[in-house]
Amino acid sequence: MRLPSIDAFSSPLATGVCSVNFVIQYTLRTRTTRESRPSEVAVPDFFIHCLPLITHMALQLARKENKSQTDVDPTESLTKALTSFKQVLTTEQLKQFENNTTVPDAGSVLFFVAQLDAENASKTRRSIAPRLCTFLTATQQFAGAVETFVSSHPETAALIWGGIKTAITVASNIASYFDKVTNMIKDIGLTCPTIQEFGQLYHGHAGLQRSLCDYYAVIVELCSKVIEVSRRGSALQTICSIWSPFESEFSPFLERLPSTRKQVMLQVSLASKKADQEAKMLLEYESKENSSYRSSALNFFSNSAHRQEEARQWQINQVKRERASLKIKIRQHLSPVDHIPPWKRILKQRVQSTAEWLLHDDTFLEWKVNPETSILWCSGTMGMGKTVLMSNVVSFLHSARRENDSVAHFFCQADNQPSLSARNIVGSICRQLLDSLIERSSHEDLLSIEHDCEGLDTNETVQFLLSRMVKERMYYIVLDGIDDCETAQIREMARALGMLSQGKVGALKIICTGRPGLEVDLFKWGRPQHRVVIDQGKLNVDMERYIAATLYDCLEDGELVPQDQEIVTTIVDALLKGSQGM
């Protein structure tokens, strides 16, 4: 009998496969007569009994080899960047960093930017949330992704989020520097890799995982630089800016981002091809498993260890990709309308320290602290700032959000027809309130949820939401602009609000705005317990601040060049008189 060469045992996988092959050949050889051939002899009984154990051993060796081949940590560059980041922090900043290291969810982005706006209201004239949201959302999505493929460093996702939050918070202590940093982050956010680009592909593709980590390693290095520069103080920064402008300080990092993003997109393309190939090979493997291919014991068992291990990994990757795909499908089934962009656009219009009077209003406070389900109706004529008012309510509710609170909002837009559909409005609210449930659900649960939410009408969507709400939670819903919808859609919303307010699941707090008289149609099935009328008297202070901030912007940009201060005062007085609170 010819023994396997020593080279055949050069890897654990080869050892396992050759062990099976060796036993088969040896057994066949010893049982073969002079008149027969090995291929014609039945496999001996004792080998049949030993075969499961031998195959199991071969599979274990195959898995060990497969693990060793893919055991290169894709987060190596990111881990080094995070280690370096911690080294540049002061003792106080390190404590702040440790407090920030939590795995973020979708609500974490709005919570953080709302807190930043509240803390920097006296330093900036406009909300900084619109500058940060796109980048922070992409980062939050990446953190969720990296948590699933990094078993050796499960804390990495929290460290990334904590590092970025710490750098932004530290930068906010110096107003002029903070303005430049947030503008830089806004520009980065425009080209940041998104979950829509890589979400279904990073599972099982080390190259894509590594390129994503390399991209965020550059981001973390940039955050280290933000911390270092912030230590200089205002005076030193002014001096340094003469010799080394802001752009020069950060250009080494900003110049690396396009090339690392290009590498991410290359790996996305490769991962897509690999996923298609794995799917085809898995189908082929399963087809052979169920065919006469099994009939040749020698051929089958010689190759099965390696092929079974490959197939097992293909199946794992396929399930992970399906899970990511199901999350996207569920969110699209519920509502295709993105609720974030309208809120960001409205915040850009808002001047800091305006639209805050409602937060101190007794009626609002009663609605907020009431532990029971209740509706607050805010009515006002056109031009009274209802939409801007609600954008600040959204920020406030997120900044004050507790662990068991969920916040959802929807701003109807007259120039966006899908946003005027009752089904899309209710679906978006459902999508937001159940986002954390969708994100943490297992593959089996996602299959069930996807089946249950497909093709629902407005009332069925409400029932879908109510069936998954938790009694221990507090749910907040902010709605604005429903009066822009057609009459039929308003009636649908009325039924939906009635069903929600009468559903005995958790405490549901709804706040709506609209023109006077809309409540007659909107609250047929559930009357609001609290009412606020938005009138000119409540807006006078806001109008003064808005005019002052707008004029300051014009002066700073050189659009207005007055000869003396009296002209500015005259302009302010004329605008206040002519605005009539609008």
Pick 161 or 54 by higher pLDDT.
Answer: 161
Separation CA 319–CA 314 (nearest Å): 9
The residue type found at 540 is N
Mean pLDDT, residues 212-218 taken together: 95
Choose from 51-60, 431-440, 502-511 the range with maximum mean pLDDT. Answer: 431-440
| 8-state DSSP, 351 | B
Mean pLDDT, residues 431-435 taken together: 95
Q: Where are the domains of the chain?
A: 75-271, 339-348+357-532, 542-579
| 8-state DSSP, 510 | E
pLDDT of residue 271: 83
Contact predicate 133/113, CB 8 Å: yes
pLDDT of residue 265: 92
Mean pLDDT, residues 97-113 taken together: 90
Locate tokens 């009994």: which residue? 49
Q: Is the pLDDT score of 80 beyond 80?
A: yes
307: exposed, middle or buried (C-beta count within 10 Å: 0-12, 13-18, 19+)?
Answer: middle
Separation CA 35–CA 42 (nearest Å): 14
CA dihedral 137, 141, 146, 147 (to 10 degrees): 110
Mean pLDDT, residues 66-90 taken together: 80
- Containing 474, the helix (H) or strand (E) segment is strand 474-480
Separation CA 444–CA 446 (nearest Å): 5
Q: Is the pLDDT score of 427 beyond 90?
A: yes
Banded model confidence at residue 352, pLDDT cuts 50, 70, 90: confident
Q: Is the pLDDT score of 439 beyond 60?
A: yes
Mean pLDDT, residues 110-122 taken together: 86
3-state secondary structure of 408: strand
pLDDT of residue 230: 87
Banded model confidence at residue 30, pLDDT cuts 50, 70, 90: very low
Give the chain's largest Cα–Cα span. Answer: 119
Q: Pull the structure tokens for residue 222.
A: 């940039």
pLDDT of residue 11: 42
Locate tokens 């630089």: which residue? 225
3-state secondary structure of 274: helix
Q: Pull the structure tokens for residue 300.
A: 């089958």
DSSP string, 419-448: GG-HHHHHHHHHHHHTHHHHHH--HHHHHH
pLDDT of residue 515: 92
Mean pLDDT, residues 250-276 taken together: 90
Q: Is the pLDDT score of 67 beyond 70?
A: no
Pick 316 or 40 by higher pLDDT.
Answer: 316
Separation CA 562–CA 558 (nearest Å): 10
pLDDT of residue 154: 65
CA distances from 196 to 257, 265, 268, 428, 434 (A): 19, 12, 11, 18, 19
pLDDT of residue 211: 93
Banded model confidence at residue 245, pLDDT cuts 50, 70, 90: confident
CA dihedral 56, 57, 61, 67 (to 10 degrees): 40
Banded model confidence at residue 69, pLDDT cuts 50, 70, 90: very low
pLDDT of residue 562: 65
Contact predicate 20/305, CB 8 Å: yes
Mean pLDDT, residues 112-128 taken together: 81
CATH topology of domain 339-348+357-532: Rossmann fold (3.40.50)
pLDDT of residue 231: 84
Pick 548 or 3 by higher pLDDT.
Answer: 548
- Share of residues in the chain with pLDDT > 90 (%): 44
pLDDT of residue 190: 93
- Share of residues in the chain with pLDDT > 70 (%): 71
Digit-coded pLDDT (tens) for 535-573: 877 776 666 666 666 666 666 666 666 655 666 666 666
Q: 531 phi and psi, to 5 degrees? A: -135, 140
Digit-coded pLDDT (tens) for 466-503: 999 998 899 999 999 999 999 999 999 999 999 998 87
The per-residue pLDDT of the chain, averaged, comes to 80
Q: Pull the structure tokens for residue 162.
A: 């904590």
Banded model confidence at residue 159, pLDDT cuts 50, 70, 90: very high
Pick 438 or 149 by higher pLDDT.
Answer: 438
